[in-house]
Amino acid sequence: MSNFPNSFSIPLDKWIDGIMEWLLINLEVFFDFIGFVILNVIVTFENLFLFIPWFIFIPLVGFLGWKFVGKKSIAITFMLMLLLIGSFGYWELSMKTLSLVITSVFFSLLIGIPHGVLMARSDKLESIMKPILDGMQTMPSFVYLIPALMFFGMGKVPAMFATIIYAIPPVIRLTNIGIRTVDKEVIEAALAYGASSKQVLFDVQIPLAKPSIMVGINQTTMMALSMVVIGSMIGAKGLGMEVLLAINRIEVGKGFEAGISIVILAIIIDRITFSFSKKR
């Protein structure tokens, strides 16, 4: 009596497997094209970061810290932290990790901000998107690796695909919230002066919602960086791979160095991107 009746079962796994099989058969060319685009963007960013010498890159990051955060002490701290990564011998791997994060954030914003705007302008779409975003944020991140592997195989592209799915919800949510919380009186005033719907969106709502949108970008960036180690399980090279190798070989010191390097990148990216939300 305590066992759940076998007659009441939903074969969801078979349905999903059938959908995946149909997608793989009928949309193979589409996924090949998507993989080609993502891979080329990753390689472009990777080549760019590896092309810039470390003795130029480090002062440049320090300048960005001073310019956007507004403190010289922060700039000096950023430079010392990057020097620490170099001293561990992880400079090249950290640049590869940074390229993966920047690429995932680039595609997340390219997809997420327009969706957030559409959600803000349609209550019906918001009611549909909210449970989808809830599922994307609460689903274990390892689950995203399965369809990514099926669509793209091993390597950087499936890791990027899984990272985008995992990291995109915050920027969609906060873009939607930011635009919806713009004072209605300001919108009414713009309409009274003859502004079109498009002008209200781009000249009033988005500028006023900028702090909220920038917080969403910050959170998306942090979530993308948190997928570094998980992405390494399917072939994404970088600091995450070093952590994974250290776990397999039980090399505590090596794992700690790679982990600290990831934390340093996270702190620098977080401080710089979060500072944008304070700029009007």
Q: What is the pLDDT of residue 280?
A: 46
Query: Is 142 in contact with 84 (CB distance < 8 Å)?
Result: no
Least confident of 2-11, 65-74, 102-111, 196-205: 2-11
CA-nearest of 77, 81, 101 to 91 is 81
User: Tell me, what DSSP letter sits at residue 5?
Assistant: P
Q: What is the mean pLDDT of residues 137-157?
A: 82
Read off the DSSP letter of residue 202.
I
Residue 157 has pLDDT above 80, yes or no: yes
pLDDT tens per residue across span 22-69: 888 888 888 889 989 988 998 999 999 999 999 999 999 999 888 888
Q: Which domains does the chain have, with CATH numbers?
A: 12-51+88-276 (1.10.3720.10)
Looking at residues 130-156, what average pLDDT do you find? 83
Report the pLDDT value the prediction gives residue 107, as an integer from 0 to 100.
Answer: 93
Per-residue buried b or exposed e for 93-131, using 16+ beta carbons within 10 Å of the residue's own CB? bbbbbbbbbbbbbbbbbeebbebbbebbeeeeebeebee
Question: End-to-end CA distance of the chain, in Å?
Answer: 63
Tens digits of per-residue pLDDT, 223-250? Answer: 888 887 788 877 778 888 888 888 888 8
Using only the alpha carbons of the chain, give its radius of gyration: 22
